[in-house]
């Protein structure tokens, strides 16, 4: 039995010289801590121990990380974390992009409930975003673009971002009843064209190993799978 927020676990940022970890309740559950890791270089064993002590002192019984590259995952694995899920990473060289088959528009604040409802339909429970997760996706990079597409309702959305010449497709979802209608391709191509206009030379995206529809979409839009993937980690305290 997990408990809704009501404990001492709050939204906190812990830092080490090579990056930071944002700590908050996972999906509003007070006894599960989510660690969102941003690293220029891997955290130290001492810093991982500090993170564990921080969440343990606030009554957490479980902790889950964001998707980590192998080097960043290593100190967490050494601290007793286990792999919860592995992800493919795909990259686009920003060469041939084409034109989106449909139009998009800027996402507005009033669109967020509909975007989150779409997200719940598009992903299983462990991957669904809540309002905090959506904010994290929007602010994960210094500059971001949040677009929606659809006729009488939102059929797809995408959050893309850039940091220097590196681009990221942070989040994308298509309503299940809107698959194969061009909406996914629309928001992907729109994001790539925006990134290229701003000097991005490479864009990456990740997705679950078994998400065949997402893999097919990204590869149809010019992404290629990389040999090294990411992993989401977790452990019991």
Please write the tens of the pLDDT for every residue from 160-218: 999 999 999 999 999 999 999 999 999 999 999 999 999 999 999 999 999 999 999 99
Could you tell me the residue range of the domain that residue 187 belongs to?
97-221
Look at residue 6 and tell me if it is in a domain: no
20 by DSSP, 3-state: which? strand
| 78 and 145 assigned to the same domain | no
H or E stretch covering 197: helix 183-197
Q: How many domains does the chain have?
A: 2
Separation of alpha carbons 105 and 99, rounded Å:
15
Whole-prediction pTM value? Answer: 0.89
Is residue 226 domain-resident? no
Q: Same domain, yes or no, for 101 and 216?
A: yes
Dig out the tokens for 218 from the structure.
């990204």
- What pLDDT, in 10s, does the model give residues 178-187? 999 999 999 9
Residue 59 domain-assigned (yes or no): yes
Residue whose C-alpha is closest to residue 221's, from 126, 95, 57: 95
């Amino acid at each position: 039995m997990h408990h809704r927020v009501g404990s001492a676990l709050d939204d906190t940022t812990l830092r080490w010289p090579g990056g930071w970890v944002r700590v908050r309740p996972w999906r509003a559950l007070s006894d599960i801590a989510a660690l969102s890791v941003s690293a220029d270089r891997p955290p130290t064993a001492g810093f991982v121990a500090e993170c564990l002590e921080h969440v343990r002192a606030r009554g957490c019984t479980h902790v889950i990380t964001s998707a980590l590259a192998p080097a960043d995952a290593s100190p967490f694995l050494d601290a007793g974390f286990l792999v919860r899920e592995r992800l493919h990473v795909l990259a686009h060289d920003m060469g041939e992009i084409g034109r989106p088959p449909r139009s998009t528009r800027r996402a507005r604040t009033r669109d967020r409930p509909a975007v989150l409802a779409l997200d719940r339909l598009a992903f299983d429970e462990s991957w669904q975003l809540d309002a905090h997760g959506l904010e994290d996706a929007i602010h994960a990079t210094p500059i971001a673009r949040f677009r929606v597409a659809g006729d009488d309702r939102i059929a797809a959305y995408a959050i893309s971002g850039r940091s220097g010449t590196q681009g990221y497709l942070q989040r994308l979802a298509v309503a299940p009843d809107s698959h194969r209608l061009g909406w996914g391709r629309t928001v992907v191509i729109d994001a790539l064209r925006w990134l290229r206009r701003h000097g991005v030379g490479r864009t990456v995206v990740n997705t679950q190993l078994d998400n065949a529809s997402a893999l097919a979409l990204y590869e149809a839009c010019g992404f290629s799978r990389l040999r090294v993937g990411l992993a989401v980690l977790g452990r019991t305290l």
